[in-house]
Every structure is written in structure tokens, then in C-alpha cells.
């Protein structure tokens, strides 16, 4: 009888977690840019956001 391979789900879970994190980061970035545009922009470390 074969033992189940425990590595099958872990890579998929990690990829799904990273995709969810990236989506949340992009959503936060979009919200921050909208706020900054509404407020007329903000200088941060020499660049206009």
C-alpha cells in the first residue's frame, strides 16, 4: 500500500495563498492611488504617487 504524498497539496496551497495576497495588495494599491488622486497627490520619497 502506498503512502500519500504530502507535498501535493502544500505547493498548491502556497500558490493559492500567494495569489490571494497579491490580489489584496493590488486592491490596497488601487484604493491608495484613488485617495491620493482625490487629495491632489502626495510626494513620497521623491516620487509622485
End-to-end CA distance of the chain: 59
Count how many domains the chain has: 1
Asked if residue 1 is part of any domain, the answer here is no
Asked if residue 3 is part of any domain, the answer here is no
Which helix H or strand E contains 48, and what residues bound it? strand 47-48
Q: What is the rounded distance in angstroms from the CA atom of residue 35 to the CA atom of residue 21?
A: 21
Q: What is the rounded distance in angstroms from the CA atom of residue 7 to the CA atom of residue 2?
A: 14
The predicted pLDDT at position 37 comes to 75
Over residues 1-49, the pLDDT tens digits come to: 455 566 567 888 899 999 999 999 999 998 888 877 776 665 555 554 4
42, 35 contact by CB (below 8 A): no
The residue segments making up the domain with residue 25 are 8-48
Asked if residue 20 is part of any domain, the answer here is yes
Amino acid at each position: 500500500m502506498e503512502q500519500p504524498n504530502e507535498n501535493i497539496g502544500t505547493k498548491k496551497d502556497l500558490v493559492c495563498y500567494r495569489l490571494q495576497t497579491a490580489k489584496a495588495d493590488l486592491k490596497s494599491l488601487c484604493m491608495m492611488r484613488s485617495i491620493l488622486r482625490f487629495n491632489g497627490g502626495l510626494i513620497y520619497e521623491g516620487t509622485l504617487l
